[in-house]
Amino acid sequence: MIVDGFFVIGTIVCLLSSVLCIGAAIIRQPPNDVTILAVAAVELFLLAYLAGAVFRQLGGEPVAGEPWEFWGYLVTALLLPVGAFWWAILERSRWSNLVLGAVGVTVFVMLVRMEQIWDGAVPV
């Protein structure tokens, strides 16, 4: 798999978001500005990833795998932080931080798969 800048930045953002949110759940804190902003950072990264993917496609760089699969993963990943945000706002318990923490882990896994689809790498 070819590793590009988007993948590295996404890995860092997802890791930091998950550590902050899961750490807050461990110390029994309800969702707060830090955990919600951590998930917002994941969403902002995904929006930048979306813009980059659109520009790469318009620039003539093709998706090596199935394009519908890549865009399906990306749209789904964009919806995850929004859903977790609403969960955290509606249920202000420490368990909501685990849901927020799961966003970073889930988006990271989806990011790995999107990179595999884009570059045509065989998943292992």
Residue 124 lies in a domain: no
The mean per-residue pLDDT over the stretch 16-29 comes to: 94
Residue 33 lies in a domain: yes
The structure's pTM equals 0.89
Residue 30 lies in a domain: yes
64 vs 124: which has the higher pLDDT: 64
What is the token pair recorded at 113?
């798969």
Domain at 94, CATH number: 1.20.120
60 vs 77: which has the higher pLDDT: 77
Q: What is the pLDDT of residues 31-57, one digit of tens each?
A: 999 999 999 999 999 999 999 999 988
Q: What is the pLDDT of residues 80-122, one digit of tens each?
A: 999 999 999 998 888 899 999 999 999 999 999 999 998 876 5
108 vs 65: which has the higher pLDDT: 108
The mean per-residue pLDDT over the stretch 61-67 comes to: 85
What is the token pair recorded at 77?
């990943």
Residue 93 lies in a domain: yes
Question: What is the number of structural domains in the chain?
Answer: 1
Residue 81 lies in a domain: yes
Rounded CA gap, 70 and 81, in Å? Answer: 18
Q: Helix H segments across 1-124?
A: 5-26, 33-58, 67-90, 94-119
Rounded CA gap, 27 and 6, in Å? Answer: 32
